[in-house]
């Protein structure tokens, strides 16, 4: 029997312990892990509701490239992603769905001296933390991807544990298992007003319904600012549109996800056979703010194609099938914004992942559920505190944000 | 029609898989597309979208007037990277740090 999930008419209880706003991978992964812990160790079961404005995977969780990597520039992020990748290894069995998880590695290419220094630093750091990243010459990089033109490549790194997933299946998997464990999942329903109560919050829905929640989780990513402003919560994360495309499907020919540090170009072959690729795109020449608009641009297609065909000439004959847009939720210091909100400790942020939330979600869902259900602290939670900006913020620690 | 009837021939999506999506409560073309992969292959839904719409209407899951196609994704037809690269107005950026 298929579990019913994500309906516009799912009955919502009047009172819940935890209401998660946003049915993306963060909200659903958290709900799944909370449901796993609920009622454990002599604690009463938690009632959990997830409320999604549109359909599941409608936001960034359904629009990202599906890359999953340990190759970060900061030890905290490397450790977090080692946890996430470890979790991915048997998650398909746990969720009962094919996640199309394929560990073909990530190949980073440096074409400048500065890029070279970043990769050397990464390999040193990854060795200390225990991630199996190694330095490669241009020729060694070409041995992994023979179709690359490495004339300009000065240095490369490769980590065979990195990989790709198919994002949609991931989200459906968390949703189905969360519902199976008692999470109430309501889609096609907007939260129009958040009203603080003496204990918790009343969520006023566009349908006229009201749900009271002891704690509320804002897992709406790039759309989180509007909800926060209602409560006077002033956080500096901002949406930024990112374009991406996929090609016609081909039989497997490309093992790793390749990143060119200089241009921000990345490309991988999904298990479906498509080349999935994006690039850092300079802001629109007219300076217009299109941060939350999701229309595709020709400028992206031509800019990406020119860069890709230069680095990987064989792609010239491949055909682009479809392009789309998804929003990054950009935090000014590159670190996520997770935890109690300033002034509203029971309104919990899970935002600001700056374009890399999907890959972190397996680890984040688990550590955040442990904190919410068991009070267990994780070192990243102190670092991700939404309160850090009031104190003037912290310096950027991470320079391996791509796109 | 049999359980092995293919609705989306690009992505091999069968009627059975669509029935499973509907059983899971998914009745919007956008969510059925993302649950089954229907319409994401080379023809981009030119064959299967109308069949899906017809099915949803026949089941009274949506009123005909409320039926909308899923978002169209450019390009209309597959185009080579070479042709698109030739249309670049600026040269690929010089390497930056």
The answer to whether the CB atoms of B20 and A249 lie below 8 A apart is: no
Q: Could you tell me where the DSSP H helices lie in A231-327?
A: 298-311
* Number of inter-chain CB pairs under 8 A, A vs B: 127
Q: What is the residue range of B12's domain?
A: 6-86
Q: Tell me, what's the pLDDT at A40?
A: 77
| B64: contact with A, CB 8 A cutoff | no
Sequence ranges of the domains in chain A: 15-62+168-237+333-389, 103-161+238-329
CATH superfamily of A15-62+168-237+333-389: FAD/NAD(P)-binding domain (3.50.50.60)
Task: Give which of A16, A5, A25, A35 is closest to A350, Cα–Cα.
Answer: A25
The answer to whether the CB atoms of A296 and B85 lie below 8 A apart is: no
The answer to whether the CB atoms of A318 and B90 lie below 8 A apart is: no
SS3 of A164, please?
A: strand
Within a domain: residue B95? no
Mean pLDDT, chain A, as a whole number?
94
**Which contacts qualify for A37-45: CB closer than 8 Å, 24 or more apart?**
A37/A369, A37/A370, A37/A373, A37/A374, A38/A181, A38/A182, A38/A373, A40/A373, A41/A374, A43/A373, A45/A182
Within a domain: residue B96? no
Q: Which residue of A has its CA nearest to B79?
A: A319
Within a domain: residue B41? yes
Q: Tell me, what's the pLDDT at A186?
A: 97
Using alpha carbons, list the distances in angstroms from residue B12 to A210, A321, B42.
42, 17, 12
Q: Tell me, what's the pLDDT at A2?
A: 53
Beta carbons within 10 angstroms of residue B65's beta carbon: 7
B26 phi/psi in degrees, rounded to 5: -90, 115
pLDDT range class, residue B89, cuts 50, 70, 90? confident
The answer to whether the CB atoms of B73 and A296 lie below 8 A apart is: yes
**Each residue's pLDDT tens digit, B12-64:** 999 999 999 999 999 999 999 999 999 999 999 999 999 999 999 999 999 99
For residues A24-38, average pLDDT? 97
Q: Using the structure block, give the residue that is written with the tokens 């340990």.
A: A70
**Angstrom distance (rounded) from CA A257 to CA A65:** 10
**Each residue's pLDDT tens digit, A378-400:** 999 999 999 999 877 678 888 99
Nearest to A55 among B28, B37, B78 (CB): B28
Predicted model pTM: 0.95
Query: Where residue B77 sits, what CATH number does that domain have?
Result: 1.10.10.1100
The answer, yes or no, to whether residue B95 has pLDDT greater than 50, is no
CA end-to-end span of chain A, whole Å?
Answer: 41
Residues in chain A: 403
Q: Tell me, what's the pLDDT at B40?
A: 93
The answer, yes or no, to whether residue B91 has pLDDT greater than 90, is no
CATH superfamily of A103-161+238-329: D-Amino Acid Oxidase, subunit A, domain 2 (3.30.9.10)
Q: Tell me, what's the pLDDT at B97?
A: 47
| A63: contact with B, CB 8 A cutoff | no
pLDDT range class, residue A42, cuts 50, 70, 90? confident
Burial class (CB in 10 A: 0-12, 13-18, 19+), A337: buried
The number of domains in chain B is: 1
Q: Which residues of B touch A3 (CB under 8 A)?
A: 24
| A314: contact with B, CB 8 A cutoff | no
Within a domain: residue B45? yes
Q: Tell me, what's the pLDDT at A289?
A: 60
Within a domain: residue B97? no
CA distance, residue B66 to nearest chain A CA (Å): 15
| A303: contact with B, CB 8 A cutoff | yes
For residues A55-67, average pLDDT? 95
For residues A241-259, average pLDDT? 96
The pLDDT > 90 percentage for chain A reads: 89
Higher per-residue pLDDT: A110 or A2:
A110
Best residue in B33, B61, B84 for a mutation probing chain A (most A CBs within 10 Å)? B84
Higher per-residue pLDDT: B2 or A51:
A51
């Amino acid at each position: 029997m298929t579990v019913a999930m994500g309906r516009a008419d799912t009955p919502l209880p009047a009172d819940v312990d935890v209401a998660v706003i946003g049915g993306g991978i963060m909200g659903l992964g958290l709900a799944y892990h909370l449901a796993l812990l609920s009622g454990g160790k002599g604690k009463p079961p938690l009632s959990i509701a997830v409320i999604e404005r549109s359909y599941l995977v409608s936001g960034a969780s359904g629009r990202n490239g599906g890359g999953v990597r340990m190759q970060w520039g900061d030890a905290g992020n490397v450790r977090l992603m080692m946890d996430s990748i470890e979790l991915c290894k048997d998650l398909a069995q746990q969720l009962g769905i094919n996640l199309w998880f394929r560990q073909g590695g990530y190949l980073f290419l440096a074409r400048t001296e500065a890029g070279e220094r970043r990769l050397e630093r990464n390999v040193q750091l990854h060795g200390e933390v225990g991630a199996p990243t190694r330095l490669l010459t241009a020729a060694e990089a070409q041995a992994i991807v023979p179709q690359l033109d490495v004339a300009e490549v000065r240095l490369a790194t490769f980590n065979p544990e990195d990989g790709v997933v198919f994002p949609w299946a991931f989200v459906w998997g968390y949703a189905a298992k969360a519902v199976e464990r008692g999470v109430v999942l309501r889609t096609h329903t907007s939260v129009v007003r958040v009203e603080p109560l003496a204990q918790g919050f009343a969520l006023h829905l566009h349908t006229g319904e009201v749900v009271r929640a002891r704690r509320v989780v804002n897992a709406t990513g790039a759309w989180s600012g509007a909800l926060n402003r209602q409560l006077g919560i002033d956080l500096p994360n901002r949406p930024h549109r990112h374009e991406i495309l996929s090609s016609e499907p081909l039989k497997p020919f490309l093992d790793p996800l390749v990143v060119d540090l200089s241009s921000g170009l990345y490309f991988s072959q999904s298990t479906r056979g498509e080349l999935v690729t994006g690039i850092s795109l300079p802001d629109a020449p007219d300076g217009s703010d299109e941060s939350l608009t999701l229309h595709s641009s020709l400028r992206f297609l031509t800019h990406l194609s020119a860069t890709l065909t230069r680095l990987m000439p064989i792609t010239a004959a491949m055909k682009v099938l479809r392009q789309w847009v998804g929003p990054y939720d950009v935090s000014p210091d590159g670190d996520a914004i997770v935890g109690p909100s300033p002034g509203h400790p029971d309104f919990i942020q899970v935002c600001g992942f700056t374009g890399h939330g999907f890959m972190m979600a397996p680890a984040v869902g688990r550590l955040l559920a442990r904190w919410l259900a068991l009070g267990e602290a994780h070192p990243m939670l102190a670092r991700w505190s939404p309160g850090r900006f009031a104190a003037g913020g912290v310096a950027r620690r991470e320079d391996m944000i791509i796109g | 029609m049999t359980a092995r009837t293919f609705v989306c021939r690009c992505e091999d999506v069968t009627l059975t898989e669509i029935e499973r999506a509907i059983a899971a409560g998914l009745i919007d073309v956008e969510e059925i597309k993302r649950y089954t992969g229907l319409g994401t292959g080379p023809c981009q839904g030119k064959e299967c979208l109308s069949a899906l719409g017809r099915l949803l209407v026949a089941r009274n899951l949506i009123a005909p007037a409320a039926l909308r196609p899923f978002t169209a994704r450019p390009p209309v037809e597959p185009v080579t990277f070479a042709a698109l690269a030739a249309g670049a107005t600026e040269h690929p950026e010089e390497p930056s740090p």
